[in-house]
């Protein structure tokens, strides 16, 4: 590989690792998905390295497993690890049970409501990630060493201690150019990771699982959770659809401005009230630049008022970083959704409008 890697070369090597490496759980897929999301939300210079806190990856892994630990149809809670013992999904299921008992719907709400408890669990999840998927991600077998082309993993091992993690600042550092490369291929890799995830879950569970239903269950947006914000967002928008400005009637949708399928951000800064026609037409397409700039221009005081009664997070910084990452990683000419049947082409430099 050249000193500064080409995005497609990095994507191909990651895909090859996952296709040929041994997977006894979905942990590798989860941590790689978390890495892709982190790189999208933290755009950096093309030749720069990027320090990635393992605690940040732990938060994102919990977010990924959160919707997956509820019962699936008649099958019940799905198994995601071939090995015996307490698994990461088990930890997440315990957190989700505690959150629901407190009337909280999302991990972000739980983080805000009980930061001390969250910090302790996050530390334990981060250590597990260091001992397992981060240590094994760049290896093709249980003992065969790999070429650490994403980050230096020579200090990681299966029994790594808290003291060793503290000595390394609880972080891995992506090699120069890798963060930009992963951000640019995230849109290609994420669907592949999800498909492997579905296949692995089918393999690890004894019952027959319908793939389309299973995919929607594992990776669909938590519509019922964000729907709680519809009345307050509708009031904030004076009863008008955020996109077409038409009057909102019964059946108002809460939409993720930056699509959930691209970046799973549930913060109020990424949520708007929309009519069904606009929301369904937009789907997972990136919206026109001015839709995003208008969403980011909303006053924090107003958004906090929307979120206050439900203890919902704002997450403006995450949304801003993800907007810069998503639009700078997309090629010029990418169709951006403006209205049903109407698209704008992405222009060079459009992402600069989010960083201002």
Looking at the domain assignment, is residue 1 inside a domain? no
- Residue 227 is given by DSSP the state G
Q: Is the CB of residue 324 less than 8 Å from the CB of residue 44?
A: no
> What is the pTM (predicted TM-score) of this model?
0.89
**Same domain for 271 and 315?**
yes
Confidence of residue 245 (pLDDT cuts 50, 70, 90): very high
The residue out of 161, 190, 219 marking a domain boundary is 219
**Same domain for 124 and 172?**
yes
Q: Is the CB of residue 339 less than 8 Å from the CB of residue 278?
A: yes
The residue out of 219, 240, 267 marking a domain boundary is 219
Mean pLDDT of the residues in the chain: 90
Looking at the domain assignment, is residue 2 inside a domain? no
**Same domain for 204 and 227?**
no
**Same domain for 136 and 263?**
no
The residue out of 219, 253, 281 marking a domain boundary is 219
**Same domain for 230 and 209?**
no
Separation CA 186–CA 1 (nearest Å): 19
Among 7-21, 91-105, 285-299, 312-326, the minimum mean pLDDT is found in 7-21
**Same domain for 110 and 206?**
yes
pLDDT of 124 above 80: yes
Tens digits of residue pLDDT in 274-293:
999 999 999 889 999 999 99
Q: Coil, helix or strand for 143?
A: coil
**Same domain for 168 and 138?**
yes
**Same domain for 264 and 124?**
no
**Same domain for 250 and 111?**
no
Separation CA 204–CA 217 (nearest Å): 16
The 3-state DSSP composition of the chain as helix, strand, coil percent (nearest 5) reads 55, 10, 40
**Same domain for 64 and 128?**
yes
pLDDT of 130 above 90: yes
Residue 151 backbone phi and psi in degrees, to 5: -155, 160
Mean pLDDT of 62-91: 89
* Full residue range of the structural domain in which residue 56 is found: 7-219
**Same domain for 23 and 129?**
yes
Q: What is the pLDDT of residue 209?
A: 78
Q: What is the pLDDT of residue 143?
A: 47
Q: How many domains does the chain have?
A: 2
**Same domain for 241 and 167?**
no
């Amino acid at each position: 590989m050249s000193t500064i890697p080409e995005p497609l070369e990095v994507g191909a090597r990651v895909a090859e690792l996952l296709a040929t490496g041994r997977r006894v759980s979905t942990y590798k897929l989860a941590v790689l998905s978390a890495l892709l999301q982190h790189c999208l939300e933290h755009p950096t210079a093309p030749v720069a390295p990027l320090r990635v806190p393992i605690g940040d990856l732990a938060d994102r892994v919990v977010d990924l497993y959160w919707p997956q630990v509820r019962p699936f149809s008649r099958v019940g809670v799905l198994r995601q690890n071939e090995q015996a013992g307490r698994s990461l999904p088990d930890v997440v299921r315990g957190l989700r049970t505690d959150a629901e008992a407190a009337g909280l719907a999302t991990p972000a709400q739980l983080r805000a409501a009980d930061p001390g408890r969250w910090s302790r669990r996050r530390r334990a999840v981060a250590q597990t990630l260091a001992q397992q998927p981060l240590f094994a991600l760049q290896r093709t077998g249980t003992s065969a060493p790999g070429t650490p082309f994403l980050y230096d993993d020579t200090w990681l091992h299966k029994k790594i201690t808290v003291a060793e993690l503290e000595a390394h600042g609880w972080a891995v550092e992506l090699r120069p150019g890798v963060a930009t490369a992963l951000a640019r291929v995230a849109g290609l890799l994420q669907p592949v990771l999800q498909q492997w995830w579905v296949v692995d879950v089918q393999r690890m569970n004894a019952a027959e699982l319908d793939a389309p239903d299973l995919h929607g269950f594992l990776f669909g947006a938590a519509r019922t959770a964000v729907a709680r914000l519809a009345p307050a967002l509708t009031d904030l928008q004076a009863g008008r659809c955020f996109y077409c400005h038409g009057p909102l009637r019964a059946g108002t949708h809460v939409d993720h401005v930056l699509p959930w399928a691209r970046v799973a951000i549930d913060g109020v800064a990424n949520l708007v009230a929309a009519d069904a026609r606009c929301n369904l037409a937009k789907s997972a397409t990136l919206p026109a630049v001015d839709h995003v700039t208008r969403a980011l221009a909303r006053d924090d005081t107003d958004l906090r008022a929307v979120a206050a009664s439900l203890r919902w997070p704002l997450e403006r910084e995450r949304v801003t970083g993800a907007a810069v990452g998503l639009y700078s990683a997309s090629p010029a000419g990418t169709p951006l959704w403006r209205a049903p049947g109407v698209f704008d082409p992405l222009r060079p430099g459009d992402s600069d409008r989010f960083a201002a």
